[in-house]
Amino acid sequence: MSEVHVLGHPLIAHKLTQMRDKNTSSADFRRLLKEISLLMSYEVTRDFETKTVAIETPVCPGEFPRLKNDFFTIVPILRAGLGLVDGLLELLPEAHVGHIGLARDERTHEPVEYYYKMPPGVENSLIILVDPMLATGGSAVDAINNLKARGCKNIRMVNLVAAPEGIKVMQEQHPDVDIYVASIDEYLNDAAYIVPGLGDAGDRIFGTI
């Protein structure tokens, strides 16, 4: 069973409340999402292994920790996942970025893929899949199916807001993928929107409401 990490840091909670407010502008929404992704990346990388390397400081030689694995790929699910990329890249500047384009069909709520591009050798990379919203879980499950079909084994998922329904589906379909989330909300409404949620994340990020 995968682990679900709910990141209850007060700054994350404070900024998420501002994002939920329907009067928050797209400019502020984007800024807050980036700030939260920076804060979340601290927890998402907490268990990264280190190895000891020998270097010389200006004062003396010594042995110090460095990351053991430095092949990371941040994979946003387009469009809304793009809003989480810059914060993660600030802490992991050497990371590669792959893209998966998925859009939910408004009638069936099923995801439809329209783009897929990964760096070479992605199957050997640690993948951080990012999408602000985990609603039915259809988009996340589909994205991970695609990544696994191309040989990816080491995947973790970062969401801002999740519905209990989406968490359940993810744990059933991909029990090896840990989830990092700022809030697990109450339920999905008839239009498969998260309640209370924050509305359509992609529309709010890009001002397409």
Within positions 130 to 159, which residues make up the interface with ligand PRP, using CB under 6 A? Answer: 131-140
Can you tell me the distance from the alpha carbon of 19 to that of 63, in angstroms, rounded to the nearest whole number?
Answer: 44
Amino acid present at 10: P
- Strands (E) in the chain, as ranges, are 4-6, 50-56, 61-67, 72-78, 96-97, 99-104, 111-117, 126-130, 133-134, 155-162, 178-184, 187-188, 194-195
Size of the site for ligand PRP (CB under 6 A): 24
Tell whether residue 167 is a contact of ligand PRP (CB under 6 A). Answer: no
User: Among residues 71, 116, 193, 206, which is the contact residue for ligand URA, using CB under 6 A?
Assistant: 193
Size of the site for ligand URA (CB under 6 A): 9
Burial (Cβ within 10 Å: 0-12, 13-18, ≥19) of residue 23: exposed
Best CA proximity match to 38, nearest among 182, 194, 146, 148: 182
Q: Is 87 labeled as ligand-binding?
A: no
From the list 13-21, 36-44, 113-121, 126-134, the region that binds ligand PRP by CB under 6 A is 126-134
From the list 39-47, 51-59, 90-98, 129-137, the region that binds ligand PRP by CB under 6 A is 129-137
Interaction partner, residue 109 (ligand PRP, ligand URA, none; CB < 5-8 Å by kind): ligand PRP
Amino acid present at 203: D
Tell whether residue 111 is a contact of ligand PRP (CB under 6 A). Answer: yes
Nearer residue to ligand PRP within complex by CB, 62 or 131: 131
From the list 70-78, 85-93, 167-175, 195-203, the region that binds ligand URA by CB under 6 A is 195-203
Burial (Cβ within 10 Å: 0-12, 13-18, ≥19) of residue 35: middle
Tell whether residue 75 is a contact of ligand PRP (CB under 6 A). Answer: no
Q: Is 199 labeled as ligand-binding?
A: yes
